[in-house]
Amino acid sequence: SSRSRKKTYRSVEDVADIAHTLSAEQVLDACNVDGQKGLSQIEARKLLEKYGKNELPKEEGDPLWKMFLAQFEDPLVKILLAAAGISLVSSFLEGTTEGLIEFAVIMTILIFNACVGVWQEKRAESAIEALQSYNPEKAKVLRQGKMSTIFASDLVPGDVVEVNVGDKVPADMRVCEMFSTALKIEQAALTGESASVNKNPDVLVDDEDCELQQKVNILFSGTDVVYGKCRGVIVKTGLKTEIGKIAKSLTEAEDATSPLKQKLDDFGELLTKIITIICVLCWLVNIFSFKRKGEKVVSQQMKDGEYGWLWCFFFGCIFYFKEAVALAVAAIPEGLPAVVTTCLALGTRRMAKRNALIRHLPSVETLGCTSVICSDKTGTLTTNQMSVQKIFCFADSVKSKMELDVEG
């Protein structure tokens, strides 16, 4: 480490990950900036074009048409859509209104269910976006020898920033100068430790790959200043910050299926198989009645020879196929999606009254299934990898106890 400190660094990329092992002067030299003057406006503009905005990319929501179509991915809904389509086609072939009525009823229920789901998801997204855009975060930056307040998103690596009590650190920065006897930072968002951490610009760390808690001369983006005042130089912005790495890992994580969604999907697949088998059997049982029924459907006045045996058989086949489809529609609980959606929507309204925003409806049921929350000594949630090591069993008296070691 002593050799690395003597090395000359020519850019902020060279020192971004090892700034905690270098002196403040070395970091300032690598950033090519004067700690008493800061960057010029021209330099800041060029660096902004190079590194981009100091903000986390916002997740783009799906358009309304995609959200609407996503409501029809349920297996039961797909069966109802198929039944509605068959009813519509048969009504045109036969010239009757019976199929049109069935089509209208099924589609009305499905569209209502989809609209409720889209409305709830859009409402939650709008509320979350409103919270994110409320009171944009600003920062005090030294440029061309003058201290000014700008949007934190316009900060670039190499900017000299000043933070005070109550400020939120706008980016990862190396502390260069303290204007108070002590500097304490609340960085529970990163480390989980609720106690504030003392920072000191003069303390250097030998290990380049040390833990975040050991980087006592670095302030991390998103943490809060609870005591003191200091000035530092920014070394990382946007997704390159420690909080940005966490945000990136969250966006790359796959969404897990909620217990309710899994149960409904399993129920839909099972019901689909049962209904399909029953409908096919009912259709095949009447195969010997196709010709006789076809004659009645075509016309009771025309004879078999005038219309043809195949035509009568075909119309009889279509008739019993419609009967099988009607049986499938009757067996499917088309009201189930609407009932489930309504119940979940009522649950989201109750959660909203307690200032909890639910973006996806099934998340309400997921919260309801939570029976145990594992947390460490600071009260922060773990990574779902906590395991039981020992079990203590007590009887009526304190003396009669049993200790069990748990493995696996």
CA–CA dist 267, 136 (Å, integer): 46
Q: What is the pLDDT of residue 131?
A: 47
CA–CA dist 9, 158 (Å, integer): 13
pLDDT digits (tens, 9 = 90+) for 129-155: 554 544 447 899 999 989 999 998 899
Name which of 277, 332, 286 is nearest 313 in CA terms.
286
Q: Using an 8 Å Cβ cutoff, are 180 and 227 in contact? A: yes
Percent of the chain topping pLDDT 90: 17
Q: What is the pLDDT of residue 104?
A: 87
pLDDT confidence band for 232 (50 / 70 / 90): very high
Structure-model confidence comparison of residues 335 and 117, the more confident one: 117
Average pLDDT over residues 193-218: 86
> Which residue has 């959606």 as its token pair?
341
| Least-confidence region, from 23-37, 301-315, 340-354 | 301-315
**Is residue 20 predicted with pLDDT exceeding 80?**
yes
pLDDT confidence band for 5 (50 / 70 / 90): very low
Q: What is the pLDDT of residue 330?
A: 72
Q: Using an 8 Å Cβ cutoff, are 213 and 193 in contact? A: yes
Q: Using an 8 Å Cβ cutoff, are 54 and 152 in contact? A: yes
pLDDT confidence band for 218 (50 / 70 / 90): very high
Torsional sign, CA 303, 308, 313, 316? negative
**Is residue 307 predicted with pLDDT exceeding 60?**
no
Q: What is the pLDDT of residue 1?
A: 43
Q: What is the pLDDT of residue 281?
A: 85
CA torsion 6-38-163-136 (nearest 10°) is -130
CA–CA dist 139, 75 (Å, integer): 51
Name which of 244, 228, 189, 291 is nearest 52 in CA terms.
244
Q: What is the pLDDT of residue 379?
A: 54
Taking the model in full, what pTM does it have? 0.58
Q: What is the pLDDT of residue 2?
A: 39
pLDDT confidence band for 303 (50 / 70 / 90): very low
Q: Is 306 helix (H, G, I), strand (E, B) or coil?
A: helix
Q: What is the DSSP string of 258-304?
A: PHHHHHHHHHHHHHHHHHHHHHHHHHHHTGGGHHHHHHHHH-SSS-H
**Is residue 305 predicted with pLDDT exceeding 60?**
no
CA–CA dist 8, 10 (Å, integer): 7
Torsional sign, CA 188, 193, 194, 195? negative
Q: What is the pLDDT of residue 252?
A: 65
Active-site hit among 17, 206, 207, 376 = 376
CA–CA dist 276, 329 (Å, integer): 11
CA–CA dist 124, 117 (Å, integer): 11
Residues 6+ apart with CB under 8 A from 232: 160, 161, 163, 173, 174, 175, 176, 177, 201, 219
Residues 6+ apart with CB under 8 A from 126: none
376 is known as an active-site residue:
yes
Average pLDDT over residues 43-64: 83
pLDDT digits (tens, 9 = 90+) for 237-279: 988 888 888 777 766 656 666 677 777 778 878 887 888 888 8
Q: Over the chain, what is the mean pLDDT?
A: 77
**Is residue 84 predicted with pLDDT exceeding 70?**
yes
CA–CA dist 80, 331 (Å, integer): 10
Structure-model confidence comparison of residues 87 and 256, the more confident one: 87
